[in-house]
Amino acid sequence: MSSRIEQLIGEIDEYIDECKFKAFSNTEIIVNKDEIQDLLGELRLRIPDEVKRYQKIISNQDAIISDAQAQAQAILAQATAQTDELVNEHEIMQRAYAQANEVVEQAQAEAQAILDRAVQEADEIRRGAISYTDDMLKSLQMIITHSMEGAQGRFDAFMQSMQSSYDIVSSNRNELAGSIVSAGESPAEEEPEEQTEQQ
């Protein structure tokens, strides 16, 4: 599963690298919403079972606590039934109250332990899921940053190449302009001789 996640991240990296820049910008790119959503959608489907298990436990947390409470109530009901059976005579009644109190305390302790375990398990899975998701987002962020830096480098190289071409064209035009001026001065120097011959 993690291998497919790496492939998806690579595909997202390639897709971002192939996106065109927005007009008049060398940092913002144009993204096809459907294509990027398809890639991200599949990435979400590849989230490990541990994260899905955490989500399921969180969504069913109320059910887990309700089940723990039901177990506690069942233990208390059993203790009450035992107490009712023991209350027949005075001495038996004293022992019954003492035993009932012990059973009730034990039931409360077991119920609390069940609740504590359920909450602790949900919290541990939640922290693990958050940490894993943050690592995935960090990796994606690094890939996007790398792609942006690579695109910026290619853009700068392109601009340098264009500037070099522009300088060459400008230099050629200046040389041509100098040649045109030199060629235009020659007839002006011959005009006095032509006028002399006409006179």
Type of residue numbered 142? M
122, pLDDT greater than 80: yes
139, pLDDT greater than 60: yes
Residue 160 has a pLDDT of 92
pLDDT band at 196 (very low <50, low <70, confident <90, very high): very low
Higher per-residue confidence, 54 vs 153: 153
User: Across residues 155-161, what is the average pLDDT?
Assistant: 90
Tokens linked to 118:
């359920």
Instruction: Write the CA distances from 17 to 27, 59, 125, 148, 154, integer angstroms.
Output: 12, 38, 35, 8, 11
CA pair distance 118, 115, nearest whole angstrom: 5
What one-character DSSP code corresponds to residue 9?
H
Higher per-residue confidence, 167 vs 196: 167
Q: What percent of the chain has pLDDT over 90?
A: 8
Closest among 34, 16, 9, 1 to 138, alpha carbons compared: 9
112, pLDDT greater than 90: yes
pLDDT band at 76 (very low <50, low <70, confident <90, very high): confident
Residue 165 has a pLDDT of 92
Instruction: Write the CA distances from 122 to 26, 129, 130, integer angstroms.
Output: 46, 10, 12
What one-character DSSP code corresponds to residue 186?
H
For every residue of 66-126, DSSP letters joined together read HHHHHHHHHHHHHHHHHHHHHTTSHHHHHHHHHHHHHHHHHHHHHHHHHHHHHHHHHHHHH
CB 10 within 8 A of CB 43: no
Residue 26 has, within 13 A of its CA and on its CB side, a CA count of 11
What one-character DSSP code corresponds to residue 24?
T
Does pTM top 0.85 for this prediction? no
